[in-house]
Structure 1
Amino acid sequence: MGKSVFYVILIFSILFVSSGQSQSSEKIANQKIKELKKLIQALEKLNIEAFKEELAIATAEEFLKYANWDEKNIKENTEHFKQINIYKDSALVMAQKLPEFERNDIIKLLDETIEVAELLISGKIKRTPYVRPDWSQIVIDGNRLLYRNKPVFLHDYTWKPSTPKLSKYFGGLNNFLINPNQLKTKNGDLNSNVLQRLKEGSSNNAGFVFISHKDTPQWAEEVYGTELDKIMGKPFTSYDIDNPGARDMLSKLFKATVPYLADKKHTQLGYMLANEPRWANYSNGNKNVWFRADVSKYTLDKFETWLHKRHETIEKLNLLWETNMSDFNEVALQLPVDLSERGTAKWYDWTTFNQERVTEWFTFMKSEIRKYDPQAKAHLKVMPSIFTDNDPDSGVDWEALTELSEINGNDAASHYNTTKPNSSDWDDNYAWGWRELFMGYDFLKSIQPNQINFNSESHLLSGSHVRDLYMNPKYVRAAYWSAHILGLNATQTWFWPRRPDGSLRPNSEKGYAGSNNQQPRVTFELENTILDLNRFSEEITAFQQQRKPIRLYYSKTSASQNADYMNKTFGLYESLNFEGIPLGFATENIIKRIDNKEWEVILIYETQQVTIDELQALQYYLDNGGTIITDEISLKTDAYGASLPALDQSKGKLLVVSTLQEMKGRTLSLLQEKELLPAIEIIENDGESAKKCIWRVIENDKGNHVLSVVNVGKHDVTLNFRNRKTNRAIAFKELISDIPIKFGPVLKPYEVLFIEELKN
């Protein structure tokens, strides 16, 4: 037999076996769907709501369709897997195995759902009714979304098709996109199709307006000059925000569109002023800087004016910058600043100016929108990593932009893994990376505690460098549960690239392979988690509303000048985040804007440089009886290296410590003295290992304590609960299934424990 004939036979044999497997697994899945439908009937006869079981069937049916498409499109899926670093060498194998993985995952999902349904029917577990909000009847009440006067949480996906089935089970978010390219003429006339859609309106569901800055009109170059779109805020702003033409162009866009959008349901969740804004101009020697862009003469003129106002004379500027310029006009020759100059006066001036000009731009945008929609709510899809990872020079002042907003906008991420060649900074200690999510949301809640939190592009599942086809579905619950405990109200998860027939929409690119549209159980568990969050929305809201007695001090000055500043801040945050105490942040503006009685103590750690205004805000806090615990090296100089006066204890309390552990100890002792430590104490593994469970406790209307516990560690944890005052062990019941839990429960990695004290 010739080799060519042999290979043909081999290929047909593989295809035959694969076809047989697919028919077999699909048949098994369909049989289990029939079995589950019978169980749904049994549940309904017992007056037990079966929406979870319906969701499982809807997920199974959708993904069986996807698996069949994937089986016929191995080549296309191979190309997508090649774009993911961890799959590029096995892309063909991943694509070949994908259809059967999806079918087997569906079978697991159905088996797990059948098991729960049988337990419900037998009475071994119980289920309180689901709350499924009508998206057209949502009301915003301060920092809550309400449906029939009950708090609710909303979830949908970016790009998900609006079919009745998908909308019923996976979200009904409404949105409308506007961008400058929709302006047909220089007089501000709109594209006829866009105008028609504006006049017709869309659904009555809650939604938001997505303002895109990716394209400029064809006539813009003629009217505003060729430089308008040569200077960008990469990657999602394709024009120069300091060019006067930019303001004229946006003014025309808002005048043409906002009158049709005002008071409509698709503005209920606000106008999103920008998608992942970023204006990075710095250099890094010979290395590439992510989405770096040059600045225009308009920006340079602004910077020169800004410097002149701040430093008055070129002589003063030369002294600080260690330069020899003869005039402010020579400032352009000093740019871009290089990362090696971080910590210098030049670096500080540029990065501070860059943030101020960007904030000014968005202030202009909001004011223009408000001309036509006076009640407009604004927010921005800011990446919290800019704050938590201390991005060197993004132009984004997250605090200032959140103060500008009426909705706490973001696209927060957590990290199941990393596809980068190097290991992550969390992998040695934790099962998943929670730093950005926890610190980011605690910062948002500290700035604007009375506003809803809208994650308009959630990367809690996947991202550019986070992908695992075989993700543990328990992680999904851990991440989304944690996000809501921290204050999340509405989410649009990234992303749903499949069309209704399972094919891929254009521009799916690097986001698709190994993501949720190939993961039936992951997709199901996300919606299942939202269902449970809404069942217990009043308890979850109580967690969100908790007072934050400990405030970590954050200085924009130290963040700008010290590359390691947020790593040090995270070290302090991490040391306190496993004690069951809600954490928050304090800044100059938070001290000035927020009632200082909202916290007990401000901790200042590794914050060597602050402005005189920041220092004076801290002194004001002490003058009014506040308590500060600081280390020995903080608050020494301003941004330019000039010495600062020491804080005066005044009417408050000023404690100086030497180490992080001493700071933690003094802080916990202070709360203990004031009887502000949690009434419940959790002991992990008999206290023999480092703590790995993040937990919070509230008291419900019955006077019972309710605990939320998430194991973020890499190993099983045995938990013991005791009353802090009496030192006695406490009995609990698990709330999701309404069953008692044994003493010393074991929590596996990614698992969530949601329990109520058995007392009243």
Structure 2
Amino acid sequence: MKLFKYILIAMLLPCCMVEAQIKESEQKDFRNRLSKLHTKIDTVSSALEEVEGFPKKSGMIDLQVARFFAEYVAWELEHPELTAEALGSSEFFKKIELDEAECLRRYRAHINRELTGSIEILDQALGRIGSKKKWPEVKEIEWDKAVYQDNFFRVNGEPVFFGGFNLLLSMGVTNASHFPGWEKKDNAYIKEFLPKMRKIGVGILGSSTSVPALLKKDGTVNMVAIRKLAKSIKQYGEMGFKVDVMLHWGGDKKILEKFWPGITKYYANGVSLDIDHPGTKVMIAKVMAELMPALKELDAIASWDLANEPFFDMDMWSEHTLRKYHTWLTDQHGTIEKLNKVWQTSYENYAAIPFPKDLTDERPSPAQWYDRVTFHNRRVTDFFEFAQSQIKKYIPDAVVHLKGQDNSSLGPMDGSVTDGIDREMLTPSASLHGLDTRPLPVTEKRMAAGNKGRNPNQILHYDESPYGFHWLGQSFLYDYLTSLKPYRPIIDFEYHAFSINAIRIPDMKQSHSSASLWLAHLHGLVGNMAWYWQQRYGPYPFPHEHFKVWFYGSLSAQPLVATEYFQTMLNLNTFSREVEALASVDTKPVRLFVSKPSYIQNRSHIDALHRAYEGVCFQGLRVGFLTEQELARSGADGDCKMIIIPDAEFVSAEALQALEKAKKSGVQLIRFGKIKTTRDAHGLAHPPELIAFLKEVPVVAYADARALSNQFEKLLKPITSDLKVRVTHTDGSNAFGVMHRQAVVNGKRVLLLVNVSDKPVEVQLRSKKSQFVDGFDRLNSEPVKGASIKLPFQGVRLIDISL
């Protein structure tokens, strides 16, 4: 961290000259505009005293956000050099050194954007106050009463959706190493700040503790630290918040090694322990026996996070891991002769099988690779299952999740297959799918499916040009995870919809908040904490130097985007019954076949899955995924009408038999791509008679997303013709670029439209008889005509349908 700090300071030294470069006239102009902002704040505050209901609730959000930014601008005008330094520090990720002119430009643009945006959101509040529209009823949510029940968090039976920020508390506000005397002032400020956040919709906060760090030198558990943690959680609960408690897995190496030699020699990202060391479970059980009973009675705890973005490198296998691997292989294959035959090797015994890192071949036989990856996933799953069991042992109804990165399992990056995080394997022991997703305004290149350089087939390279933001990774992953058995909804407590690392868009559209969040909740999100919130208070509001790198282009540097986040959470909770119904549509007539052996062996299956999803997701149907394991175990569900098989080369005999059975029962099978299904999980060729039925299966060739959507529109006609309401472009073509779904709520049909395309669009609504269908847009409080419904860029409409 010290090296990071010195590099950062060296890179940003020119920015420290900003104060001298800003003319007094400019500062005076900014202060005059700030004074006008305060006047506008007073005007809106007075106007809100004269109204009630939704305009007041919504207006209070705009008012509080404007007040936050008025405070922040005042601080930034007093600290131009520190502000400029923070605004320039994002370039650390790009290894670019900014000159003085760019530092100055960023500072001016930043202050201007905050002042202009704050005035604009206050104007929006006044517009609602003066409008004669019919507004929805307001719900006052008591967040501290939220409980997890029937796949949603609920208050008195009503579904509610958490919103918040994962670094709202972080490590205080002021950098304690520079200004240690500000701790009491920080605490007083936070006690004033948090209730303001709660009033405008924040319902959950994040807390954390490291399990190994609670072990003291004498081998006992640090009860003082546990009581301190319990006290802080209780205080948050008394303030009206729920709390997510994240477990960390790093501790004092000297202490840990004293009791369990070698326990810290091998480690992973997010878990600084050898998970196969026999002392690991002993240590965890010992600490949890004190930690869990101390926190058991705290009603403020909403959920438990097992780790922060863990991933496990195969180079970090220990001797304990290798012995487990040998035992596991014995259980799988029996004799070494059988293993050698499948692996195409000549080991004398299981003990002769070396560490993966000691093998000279870059890639072993398909069988050996499949076993290695499967075991690696199994050992990681065993660790988290044990950690979960130690929570449930003391708190049986605990809500548990694991905040894994969005790349794991079916992610587009190469490491997604070998990081040890097997979502299907982990699902049974979790209450929720924990995530860290990134529906950013632009596509992060490493997260683009079929990215250039990773797939030689250019037609499968993700093309972001038809879209307004990177929606695919989020929707694809959410639909996959919510298809796994047993059903688990999504929680994302590091929601990167706005910025991450080098991706910074300082002038995001206000609509980005609503489009990304409505889309997320449509596909199963039940709670989020956005990344991140930067307060500006005191002499040095960066608890650590690296906090500066996150500031530029963030959510809390853009009033329009920030207020829209809160407004969207207000709308989601206002229409929570509609959201629940839309996210819980039972039927998934179209299933994408997920073959774990295929995606373990190569990326073609993953890339083809993403493209196939693009082809079917704009047809108005809830898209499901059907894993090879689930298919072999339970067959296709009764509502399954079509199974799409994208470039799945390695498929088990049991799954093939289930596919053939589904075909005979009337389920339409479609192959997508060029790769045929010919081998089993270990790479052995299937007998011709087992795969003969696939010769009769129609094949859809590779195509770009729009062309593929048109092809699937024709194939899905027998299914989509049953929809009560069909959504099309005005030329009658399928609504490519408009995600939509319909459901029935209290006897009324409701339709959600989210425009993910790169421009405004116009759509039509038709009944089964091809007649135009009108309705009432509840989000915008206006009637709509089915012959022409305009969706602005990233526009969202929630329409009550008149049939």
TM-score with structure 2 setting the length: 0.83
Residue 537 of structure 1 corresponds to which residue in structure 2?
Answer: 576
Give the letter aligned to residue 398 of structure 1. R
Residue 600 of structure 2 corresponds to which residue in structure 1?
Answer: 560
Residue 729 of structure 2 corresponds to which residue in structure 1?
Answer: 684
What is the CA-CA distance between 1:449 and the residue it aligns to?
6.5
Give the letter aligned to residue 781 of structure 2. D
2:405 corresponds to 1:393: no
Residue 779 of structure 2 corresponds to which residue in structure 1?
Answer: 736
2:140 corresponds to 1:140: no
Distance 1:757 1:262, change over 3 A: same
**Which deviations, in whole Å up to 9, do the C-alpha atoms of 1:716-742 show, x marking residues without a partner?**
32222222x221222233212321235
Residue 559 of structure 2 is aligned with which of 501, 514, 520?
520
Greater displacement, 453-462 / 500-509:
500-509
Residue 14 of structure 2 corresponds to which residue in structure 1?
Answer: none
Distance 1:534 1:10 in 2: 44
Distance 1:24 1:276, change over 3 A: same
2:457 corresponds to 1:413: no
Contact 1:454 1:488 in 2 (8 A): yes
Residue 650 of structure 2 corresponds to which residue in structure 1?
Answer: 609
Residue 181 of structure 1 is aligned with which of 189, 196, 213?
213
Distance 1:449 1:108, change over 3 A: farther
**Which deviations, in whole Å up to 9, do the C-alpha atoms of 1:329-377 show, x marking residues without a partner?**
3322553678952773232221111001111111222222222222233
What is the CA-CA distance between 1:246 and the residue it aligns to?
1.3
Residue 700 of structure 2 corresponds to which residue in structure 1?
Answer: 659
Greater displacement, 83-92 / 156-165:
83-92
Distance 2:360 2:430 in 1: 32
Contact 2:213 2:252 in 1 (8 A): yes
Distance 1:503 1:728, change over 3 A: same
Residue 267 of structure 2 is aligned with which of 228, 232, 246?
232
Structure 2 counterparts to residues 273-292 of structure 1, below 5 A: 273-281=306-314
Give the letter aligned to residue 603 of structure 2. A
Residue 547 of structure 2 corresponds to which residue in structure 1?
Answer: 508
Contact 1:588 1:618 in 2 (8 A): no
2:389 corresponds to 1:367: yes
2:686 corresponds to 1:644: yes
2:203 corresponds to 1:159: no
Distance 1:95 1:146, change over 3 A: farther
Q: Tell me, what secondary structure is at the counterpart of 2:684?
A: coil
Contact 1:216 1:229 in 2 (8 A): no
Distance 1:138 1:594 in 2: 37
Q: Tell me, what secondary structure is at the counterpart of 1:50?
A: helix
Distance 2:162 2:115 in 1: 25
Residue 227 of structure 2 is aligned with which of 175, 195, 198?
195
Residue 402 of structure 1 corresponds to which residue in structure 2?
Answer: 427
Structure 2 counterparts to residues 451-600 of structure 1, below 5 A: 451-498=488-535, 500-501=537-538, 503-506=541-544, 507-508=546-547, 510-547=549-586, 548-591=588-631, 592=633, 596-600=637-641
Contact 1:83 1:510 in 2 (8 A): yes
What is the CA-CA distance between 1:561 and the residue it aligns to?
0.5
What is the CA-CA distance between 1:11 and the residue it aligns to?
7.7
Distance 1:498 1:612, change over 3 A: farther
What is the CA-CA distance between 1:440 and the residue it aligns to?
0.9
Distance 1:739 1:537, change over 3 A: same
Residue 288 of structure 1 corresponds to which residue in structure 2?
Answer: none
Q: For structure 1, list consecutive stretches of 5 or more residues without a partner in the other structure.
A: 1-8, 282-292
Residue 248 of structure 2 corresponds to which residue in structure 1?
Answer: 212
**Which deviations, in whole Å up to 9, do the C-alpha atoms of 1:533-558 show, x marking residues without a partner?**
11111111111111222111111110
2:27 corresponds to 1:19: yes
Distance 1:209 1:10 in 2: 41
Residue 9 of structure 2 corresponds to which residue in structure 1?
Answer: none
What is the CA-CA distance between 1:29 and the residue it aligns to?
1.2
What is the CA-CA distance between 1:583 and the residue it aligns to?
0.3
Residue 298 of structure 2 corresponds to which residue in structure 1?
Answer: 264
Distance 1:726 1:562, change over 3 A: same
What is the CA-CA distance between 1:277 and the residue it aligns to?
1.7
Q: Tell me, what secondary structure is at the counterpart of 1:753?
A: strand
Residue 56 of structure 1 corresponds to which residue in structure 2?
Answer: 62
What is the CA-CA distance between 1:380 and the residue it aligns to?
0.6
Contact 2:62 2:121 in 1 (8 A): no
Greater displacement, 199-208 / 633-642:
199-208
Residue 105 of structure 1 is aligned with which of 106, 114, 122?
114
What is the CA-CA distance between 1:464 and the residue it aligns to?
2.7
What is the CA-CA distance between 1:499 and the residue it aligns to?
5.8
What is the CA-CA distance between 1:190 and the residue it aligns to?
1.6
Distance 2:96 2:199 in 1: 34
Give the letter aligned to residue 44 of structure 2. L
Contact 2:165 2:205 in 1 (8 A): no
TM-score with structure 1 setting the length: 0.88
Distance 1:219 1:76, change over 3 A: same
Distance 2:755 2:92 in 1: 32
Residue 285 of structure 1 corresponds to which residue in structure 2?
Answer: none
Greater displacement, 741-750 / 428-437:
741-750
Contact 2:411 2:447 in 1 (8 A): no
Distance 1:42 1:617, change over 3 A: same
Greater displacement, 177-186 / 241-250:
177-186
Distance 1:429 1:398, change over 3 A: same
Contact 2:18 2:84 in 1 (8 A): no
Q: Tell me, what secondary structure is at the counterpart of 1:698?
A: strand
Q: Tell me, what secondary structure is at the counterpart of 2:49?
A: helix
- The total of aligned residue pairs comes to 731
Residue 766 of structure 2 is aligned with which of 712, 719, 722?
722
**Which deviations, in whole Å up to 9, do the C-alpha atoms of 1:160-187 show, x marking residues without a partner?**
1452212322513144422110222454
Distance 2:447 2:435 in 1: 27
Distance 1:167 1:339 in 2: 56
Greater displacement, 396-405 / 608-617:
608-617
Q: For structure 2, list consecutive stretches of 5 or more residues without a partner in the other structure.
A: 1-16, 170-189, 452-461
Distance 1:92 1:243, change over 3 A: farther
What is the CA-CA distance between 1:95 and the residue it aligns to?
6.3
Distance 1:43 1:646 in 2: 74
Distance 1:115 1:174, change over 3 A: closer
Residue 739 of structure 2 is aligned with which of 694, 715, 719?
694
Q: Tell me, what secondary structure is at the counterpart of 1:207?
A: strand
2:202 corresponds to 1:171: yes
Give the letter aligned to residue 68 of structure 2. E
What is the CA-CA distance between 1:509 and the residue it aligns to?
5.1
Distance 1:596 1:95, change over 3 A: farther
Distance 1:481 1:212 in 2: 31
Q: Tell me, what secondary structure is at the counterpart of 1:586?
A: strand
Distance 1:487 1:23, change over 3 A: same
Give the letter aligned to residue 716 of structure 1. P
Structure 2 counterparts to residues 310-389 of structure 1, below 5 A: 310-332=332-354, 334-335=356-357, 341=363, 344-389=366-411
Give the letter aligned to residue 239 of structure 1. L
What is the CA-CA distance between 1:588 and the residue it aligns to?
3.6
Distance 1:374 1:331, change over 3 A: same
What is the CA-CA distance between 1:211 and the residue it aligns to?
0.8
Contact 2:738 2:753 in 1 (8 A): yes
